[in-house]
Structure 1
Amino acid sequence: MGKTGHFLLLFFIIWPGITTETSGQQSALTNQFMSRPLILNPAFAGTRNSVAIDVYSRQQWIGIEDAPSFYSASIHFPVNESMSSIGGGAWSEQTGPFMYNRLFFDYAYLLRVSRRAFLSLGLRIGADHFNFNLQKLQLIDYNDPEFETSIDNEFRPSWGAGFMFYTPGIFMGVSLPHRPVGDLSWSSEAAANFESAREIDLSGGININISKEATITLGAIHRMVQNDIPTTDLGLMISLGNGIRAGVNYRPDYAAAALFGMKITREIDFLYSYEFPTNPDQPIVKKGAHELTVSFNFTRWIKYNRNRIFLKKKVEKEELNSIRYF
């Protein structure tokens, strides 16, 4: 299948998800969206040109019993001698009596738009597992019928898709990180009534080189969630040549965060962020949230592929010399 075929195939897969009213589980909020975690967009697969591994944790409202916690791990890498990439991962989210787990596998295809621009197209398939144990709740009325039936170990398939366009100076993308396949005849009645929100993420940013050793990145992500209030994150990150990163993130009317990261070795680095509330009308979140990502980038197994890197000079076609020069 050629470049046009890959583009059309993934376009007609993602477009119905944008225009229809099916449901999807909302993805977790993160202040580290500018590091392009795979959980936000399957089109990120392979864009680091390495065997890329990320282990992520978000601990929210430290000190409050049954506060939200989120863990994820992912791996992705380009397929040697091709423009395809594969990846996958898992996450686990728990809030009080509710536990939600997800396993996903990604495929992405990279299209060269010009010598300094790429378009990555991503497709995701996965499976969800969720458990909602209402028996853990302390009820005022134990005869309330709304709290009689728990959801125990339910599974359902899911899918996602996304685009990402990037150059050395800009990046922007759109994704449907996760959409369940509904109307499952084998699901319980309680699971069938479990509704989740449709979500579309729009992200983008610019990279500004202020010197040979320093780059400023300005980024934003806007989450549009069905029947819920949309959220927007605005971020700024300064990256130095020695691997140190520092930045801030702001979620209007909700929270702000400070970020710091650095390289531990040539192949390993970490990024930490602390989020604190900015809205005095939400006292429960005054404890803040901690996020930590440990990333690995192994290049020893990846063959050099000139078609995947930015080209500084225009490629010239080789001309056949006259036979007299042989």
Structure 2
Amino acid sequence: MIKKLKYLFCLLLFIGNVLLLNAQEMMHLQSVVKQEFINPAYNSFKDYSSINLISRLQWVNLPHNPEVYGVNVFVPFRVNRLGMNVTLMRENIGLRKVSSADVSLSTNIRLNKQSFLAFGYGIGLKSNIYRTDEIISYDDGSYLFGNENWNTHKFTTKFGAFYMDEYMFAGFSGNMLVDRKWNDHLVLCPSWDFIIGAMYKINRNLLFRPDFVVKYYRTEVIEMAGGVEDASYVPPVFDPAINFFIHNRIWAGISYRINMAATISLSVKANDNLRFGYTYEYGIGEGVNQFSSHGFTMTFDFNQKVSLYNHQRNARMRHNIGDVVNRNYLYR
């Protein structure tokens, strides 16, 4: 019965990807977001519940600067190797507020003795609210807005896959809106995220973890030069990073978002269950990319040493997931 459920889950994932290939996406953070918030398959290898919080303040010292807040909750089911993610996001950019909520399921399969592949699929809702009542304008210019309602509410879908073995990991995910009519809306865009990395233990107190992130958001940009309109799409974002895990307690890393920002990050384990993190992005690009940003994270793992469902832990250990990689290395 469990095997049939897995096949059905994978079939639904494939069908959903085909039907929604040209659909649209959820909001994104400009920085390298933790995988919990964008890839529904990422948490699949956990056998314990967890809560992840994230906040990001962009373009500091500017009025109406973007602010992003998010929470992700993961709960493993009693059914063998199934889990559920609940993700809430809130983004404030000037007079625009974007909110999203989604629920996703994940599972994983064993490829060979030391490698595993996880799948995740979810649906949700996204709202786009414009506070036009706060726009300051002259009476004779009010016709620009009239009584038009810019607010929208649409269903969303997300899917992802994540591979893990003893030395490396890789993930791919897509987040999009279901309604194709949003193709004409400049503030919305399809989202594709890819990550690949390696894990190498130098000694018992130091682990080396490089990774490389690629993001592509099909956002249209319109520029005016000499009275001529030039429309194009934002190019992909490339973000290589180097991270070190020190004394099984501290994550320290640097990354370079090409032509955009240089980033330093620090994450500290207060105990076996609680972690705090901080990221500083120094803007080095043009336009809005010249401004710096701050990011904060907090993670709490419930009963990490003793699983919420012992029989699920035993089932996962029978598949050697616990023996392949220390989850501290994957779930930072």
> TM-score, normalized by length of structure 1?
0.83
Q: CA deviation at 1:258?
A: 0.4
* 1:9 equivalenced with 2:12 (yes/no): yes
| 1:115–1:312 Cα contact (<8 Å) kept | no
When residues 96 and 149 of structure 1 are mapped into structure 2, their CA distance, relative to the original with a 3 A threshold, is: farther
1:310 to 310, 321, 324: 321
Deviations 1:85-134 (A, max 9, x none): 11102010001100000011010111111121111111011011221123
CA distance in 2: counterparts of 1:44 and 1:17, whole angstroms: 21
Deviations 1:163-207 (A, max 9, x none): 111112111111112323345xxxxxxx89645111211111111
* Alignment correspondent of 1:320: none
When residues 271 and 112 of structure 1 are mapped into structure 2, their CA distance, relative to the original with a 3 A threshold, is: same
Q: Equivalent residue of 2:175, what SS?
A: strand
* Alignment correspondent of 2:165: 167
* Range with greater deviation from structure 2 (233-242 or 300-309): 300-309
| 2:193–2:213 Cα contact (<8 Å) kept | yes
* Range with greater deviation from structure 2 (138-147 or 61-70): 138-147
CA distance in 2: counterparts of 1:264 and 1:151, whole angstroms: 47
CA distance in 2: counterparts of 1:193 and 1:135, whole angstroms: 24
Q: CA deviation at 1:234?
A: 1.2
Q: Equivalent residue of 1:292, what SS?
A: strand
Map 1:232-311; keep pairs closer than 5 Å: 232-279=238-285, 281-282=286-287, 284-299=288-303, 300=306, 301-303=308-310, 304-305=313-314, 306-307=317-318, 309-310=320-321
CA distance in 2: counterparts of 1:238 and 1:310, whole angstroms: 22
When residues 31 and 224 of structure 1 are mapped into structure 2, their CA distance, relative to the original with a 3 A threshold, is: closer
| 2:32–2:213 Cα contact (<8 Å) kept | no
Q: CA RMSD in A?
A: 2.5
CA distance in 2: counterparts of 1:149 and 1:89, whole angstroms: 33
Q: CA deviation at 1:28?
A: 1.3
When residues 17 and 200 of structure 1 are mapped into structure 2, their CA distance, relative to the original with a 3 A threshold, is: farther
| 1:51–1:302 Cα contact (<8 Å) kept | no
What amino acid is the match of 2:10?
F
* Alignment correspondent of 1:316: none
* Range with greater deviation from structure 2 (228-237 or 64-73): 228-237
What amino acid is the match of 2:299?
S
Q: CA deviation at 1:153?
A: 5.3
Q: Equivalent residue of 2:45, what SS?
A: coil
CA distance in 2: counterparts of 1:11 and 1:221, whole angstroms: 24
Q: CA deviation at 1:10?
A: 1.6
| 2:58–2:294 Cα contact (<8 Å) kept | yes
What amino acid is the match of 1:58?
R
CA distance in 2: counterparts of 1:142 and 1:176, whole angstroms: 44
What amino acid is the match of 1:211?
N
What amino acid is the match of 2:199?
N
Deviations 1:140-173 (A, max 9, x none): 7952654335646532211111111111211111
Q: CA deviation at 1:31?
A: 3.4
> How many residues are treated as equivalent by the alignment?
299
| 1:272–1:293 Cα contact (<8 Å) kept | yes
Give the gaps of 5 or more residues in structure 2. Answer: 219-232, 325-332
> TM-score, normalized by length of structure 2?
0.82
Map 1:1-326; keep pairs closer than 5 Å: 1=4, 3-18=6-21, 21-33=22-34, 36=35, 38-139=36-137, 143=141, 145-149=143-147, 151=149, 154-182=152-180, 194-195=185-186, 196-226=188-218, 227-279=233-285, 281-282=286-287, 284-299=288-303, 300=306, 301-303=308-310, 304-305=313-314, 306-307=317-318, 309-310=320-321
Q: Equivalent residue of 1:46, what SS?
A: helix
> Which structure has the greater CA radius of gyration?
1
Q: CA deviation at 1:210?
A: 0.9
* Alignment correspondent of 1:317: none
CA distance in 1: counterparts of 2:138 and 2:195, whole angstroms: 43
Give the gaps of 5 or more residues in structure 1. Answer: 184-190, 314-326
| 2:123–2:158 Cα contact (<8 Å) kept | yes
Q: Equivalent residue of 2:212, what SS?
A: strand
CA distance in 1: counterparts of 2:92 and 2:214, whole angstroms: 24
CA distance in 2: counterparts of 1:242 and 1:174, whole angstroms: 27
| 2:96–2:131 Cα contact (<8 Å) kept | yes
Q: CA deviation at 1:242?
A: 3.1
